[in-house]
Chain A
C-alpha cells in the first residue's frame, strides 16, 4: 500500500475526451510517467437530464473525418455499450490502475457553489444541501460537499448526481476483477488551483492567471502570489473556440470582475496551442503569456522526449488531479474531495464502528488478560520448574541418605532375624563339648574306667567303655538323659576283672537359646540406650565416669550401683591431652557414660591391647567389668578383672576386689564374696572401699 501511494493516476473527462496522467512520487520529486487520451463517441454526461440536448454530433463522427454510414440516433448509449468496447476501457486496461491512487474530476455542471460565512456544521450542511439539490438525490445521498475558500471567502461546494467517470471506472474495476483505490474526486478548478499553488514560484503580490481552455471546461483562475483570488468562467459554446473569442471573453470577464491584466498568464487545456499563445501575447503586451508547462514536474528520459511543453499544458487537468492525489496529506493543499461516501467507506478497510471498537477493546482486554495470565503462568512454571529442580535434587540426596539409613535399619532388624535364625539352627545342636566335658568329669571322678568309643547313635550317642568297678556303669548311665545300658560284660585282663559296657544316651541339652537371648537382650538394650541417648546431649566430657551412669539399670545393677565405689584416676594422669592413651581413655569414659556398651567394649579391648601396661588400663578393665556386671555378664566381668586380682599393689585393686565380691555374690558364692571383701577391710582398712566392704559383709 505504501508503494501504491507513490503512484497516482489522474483521470479527467472533458467533453468527449478522457485524459489520463500517470505520475509517480519519490520523496519530493514528482515524475511524469505517461500521458494518454481517448476520444469518446459522446460525452459521459450527454444523456443526463441536466444536459438533455447538448449532445455533440461531432462526437459521433469518426476521427478520420469521414461522414460515416452508421446513423444510430435511435439507439441509446447503454444499448451500444452493451455490445461495443468503449475506448476508455482499453485505456483503463493499458495501465495498472490498481497499482496506484486514482484521482478523477467531477462534472462541472453538477456543482452548486454556496457562499457561506464560516465553516458550517454537519446539520447546517445538510440543511443547505437539502435546499439546493433535488430531493431524490438528497434522499439517496448522491451528494458530496467540500468547503473551498477563494480569496479567503469560504464557499460550500456541493456536488450532486452520479459521477459518470467514477461509474465507468467502477465498471472497469469489475470487469478487470480487481480493486482500484480512489483517492480523489475533485472539481476541475480546485485541482488546477491546487496545482498552481504547489508549483508556482510567484512572488508575494504577483498577479498571475491560469487559463484553462478545455473541451467543455474553460476557466480563468487568478492568483496573487500563491493565493487563489478569483475563478472566472469563460463562457464559450464552441467546442474549438477561436482564440480571439477566447481573448474577448477573457477581457470581458476581467472587466466584469474589475480586474487588471495579470502579470503572467499560463495557458493550458485542450485548446491550448502555440498560435493561441502567440495571439494572446500580442493582445496582452504587458502580460507574460506562456503555456503552463509545469516546471516542477520532473520528466525522466523517455517522458522528456515524448511529451513536449504544449502537450503537458493540454494535460494540465489530469496532471493536477494526480498531483493532488500524491500530495493530499501535505499542508497548503486545497481541501476538497467529492468522492462519494460509500467509496471512501469501502476503501477504509480498517475502519471500525462502535461495535468494532467494543470488540476491539474486548480483544485488547482479552489479549492483555491472556498475556498477563500467560506471563504469570509461564513465570510460575519457570519458578516451579526451578524449584522442582532444587527440590528434586534435595529429594534425591535425602532419599539416598534415607535409603542408606533404611539399609542400616534393615541391617539392624536383620540382626534380630539372624539371631532368631541362629537360635533355630542351634536348637538341639552342638552338644559335643558338653558331652565330652561331662564324660571327662565323670570318668575322672570314677577312675579305672575309660572310654573306648564315643559316637553318634541314632538320635543320641553311644559310649562304649571299660571299668573295673561295676557300679560305675550305673553311674555312667546317669550322666546324660535317657541313659540306657545296652550291655555290660565282664572279662579278665591279667588277674583283673573288668566290665565292658555300652550305654546309649539322648543328647544333653545345651542352652544355646539362653546365650542367644543374652545377645538379643543386649541388642534390645543397646537400641533402648540409643533412643535414650538421643535425648541426652549433655555428656560428661570431663573424663570422669558419672555415678548416674550406673543408676538406671535393672534391679541387680541398681543394688550394685548403690553400693559400689567407682575408681577415678588421678587428674594428673589425664592432664596430657595429647597422649593418645589419655584420648582413648576419655573416649571409653564417654562411651561408658553414654551407655554405649558395644562401643565401650570395642574401645576397651583395643585399649587393653594397645596399652597393656598403662596405669589407666586397670581403670578401663574395671569399667568393662562393671558394665558387664550391669549387663548380668558376670563371667565376662571376671575375665576383665582377673589379671587385676593378683596385683594387690594396683591402685584399683580395692575397687576390683569389691567388684569381684559382687560378682561372686551374684553367682551365689557368698564365701568367695566374703573373702574378697574381707581382704579389703584387712589390707586397706583406710581405703574408701573398706567402708562399703564392711557394709556388704554385714549385709550378708
Chain B
C-alpha cells in the first residue's frame, strides 16, 4: 500500500470518524436543542395560559378582598376553628354585645367524634327571662354557626318570678375554610321579641314578697271605726285612724266602694296574682 493510499485510507477513516462523531454530537445537540426548544415552547404556552388567567387577577383580587368583607357581613359564617376557649370567649363577647350579664356554667360535652367539625357544649344557669331570650337569640342569629340542640327553661321561685332556670346544649361548627372568629363582626339581630315574661306566674298561693309603702293601710289589720256615704274611718293595728275615700290606695289595692246603709266597704286587692274583692263590715269591726 502506498503512502497516498494509506493516507487516503486514514483520511477516509478520519472522515468516517468525524462524520460519525459529528453526527452523534450534532444529533445529541440537536436533540438537546429540540428538547429545550420544546420546553421553551411549552413554557411560552403555559405563560400565555397564565397571562390569560392572570388577566382576571385584578378582578379576582378585588373579588377576594370584597369576599373577605362579604364573609364578615353575611348572615352566617363557619368559623375557622373552635376550641372551648374560643366558644367560651365568644359567649362572653355575646354578653358584651348584649350589655347584660348572665351567670352560667359552661362545659364541653363528651359527645364528639374525633373527626367531626363541631364541638358540643352545655350551658346552664339562671337569669332574667329576657336576658336568656336575648342570649338564645344572639346564639342563633349572630354570624358564627352555632346550633342549639336542646333548651330547657323552667320557672324559678315566686320570689324571683322574672328569673328562669335554663340549660342548653349547642354545637359550635367550624371549617378550615371558614373565617377567623376575630374577623367576624357583630351582627345586628333584627328579630323582635316582646319583653313579656311568659314564665312569671300570675296567681300565687303564697304572695310574693313585695315592697309595700308603709304609709299604705294594711287591710288585714284594720277595723272600721266609722263611715259616711263618701268616707270611711279605719284604725290600724297601731291605733292610727285612716280616712279613706273611694279609689284611695291601700296595700295591694284600693277602696272600691262604701255602702253606709249596710255599713260595709269593699276593697279591690291583687295580692295573689288576681284581683279579689275584700269586704269589711262595721259589725265585724270590734
Whole-angstrom CA separation of A366 from B188 in the bound complex:
87
At the interface, yes or no: A360 with Cβ under 8 Å from chain B? yes
Q: A453-B152, A455-B153, A498-B203 are in contact. Are A381 and B36 (CB under 8 A)?
A: yes
- Do B274 and A345 have beta carbons less than 8 Å apart? no
- Do A391 and B11 have beta carbons less than 8 Å apart? no
Contacts of A350 in B (CB 8 A): 3, 7
At the interface, yes or no: A596 with Cβ under 8 Å from chain B? yes
Whole-angstrom CA separation of A411 from B15 in the bound complex:
66
Q: Which residue of A lies closest to B189 (CB)?
A: A433
Q: Which of B41-49, B233-241, B260-268 contacts A (4 or more CB under 8 A)?
A: B41-49
Q: In whole Å, how far is B206's beta carbon from the nearest beta carbon of chain A?
A: 10
Q: In whole Å, how far is A245's beta carbon from the nearest beta carbon of chain B?
A: 50
Contacts of A450 in B (CB 8 A): 155, 198-202
Q: In whole Å, how far is B280's beta carbon from the nearest beta carbon of chain A?
A: 17
Interface size range of chain A in the complex: 35 or more
At the interface, yes or no: A309 with Cβ under 8 Å from chain B? no
At the interface, yes or no: A348 with Cβ under 8 Å from chain B? yes
- Do A366 and B22 have beta carbons less than 8 Å apart? yes
Whole-angstrom CA separation of A360 from B4 in the bound complex:
12
Whole-angstrom CA separation of A76 from B63 in the bound complex:
119
Q: What is the count of residue pairs linking A and B with beta-carbon distances less than 8 angstroms?
A: 287
How many residues of chain B get a CB closer than 8 Å to chain A's CBs? 92
- Do A436 and B136 have beta carbons less than 8 Å apart? yes
Whole-angstrom CA separation of A519 from B178 in the bound complex:
15
Contacts of B18 in A (CB 8 A): 363, 366-367, 370
At the interface, yes or no: A598 with Cβ under 8 Å from chain B? yes
Q: Which of B25-33, B94-102, B222-230 contacts A (4 or more CB under 8 A)?
A: B25-33
Q: A356-B4, A384-B33, A429-B147 are in contact. Are A598 and B66 (CB under 8 A)?
A: yes
Contacts of B25 in A (CB 8 A): 370, 374
At the interface, yes or no: B59 with Cβ under 8 Å from chain A? yes
Contacts of A449 in B (CB 8 A): 202
Chain A positions 391-423 with a Cβ under 8 Å from a chain B Cβ: 391-392, 394-395, 398-399, 401-402, 405, 408-409, 411-412, 414-415, 417-419, 421-422
Of A352, A409, A522, A599, which is within 8 A of B60 by CB? A409
Contacts of A356 in B (CB 8 A): 4, 7-8, 11
Q: In whole Å, how far is A350's beta carbon from the nearest beta carbon of chain B?
A: 6
What's the dominant secondary structure at chain A's contact region?
helix
Contacts of B43 in A (CB 8 A): 388, 391-392, 394-395
Residues of chain B having any CB pair with chain A under 8 Å: 2-5, 7-8, 11-12, 14-15, 18-19, 22, 25-26, 29-30, 32-33, 36-37, 39-40, 43-44, 46-47, 50-51, 53-54, 56-57, 59-67, 69-78, 133, 136-137, 139-141, 145-155, 173, 175, 177-178, 188, 190-194, 196, 198-205, 272-274, 276
A and B contact pairs by CB, cutoff 8 A, 7 listed: A399-B50, A421-B78, A421-B175, A433-B136, A433-B193, A523-B70, A639-B188
Given A391-B40, A433-B137, A436-B137, 10 other A-B contacts at CB below 8 A? A351-B3, A352-B8, A360-B11, A377-B32, A441-B196, A451-B153, A452-B155, A453-B154, A596-B66, A639-B188
Residues of chain A having any CB pair with chain B under 8 Å: 345-346, 348-353, 355-356, 359-360, 362-363, 366-367, 369-370, 373-374, 377-378, 380-381, 384-385, 387-388, 391-392, 394-395, 398-399, 401-402, 405, 408-409, 411-412, 414-415, 417-419, 421-422, 425-426, 429-430, 432-434, 436-437, 439-441, 443-444, 447-456, 466, 468, 493-496, 498, 512, 515-516, 518-519, 522-523, 526-527, 530-531, 533-534, 596, 598-599, 601-602, 635, 639
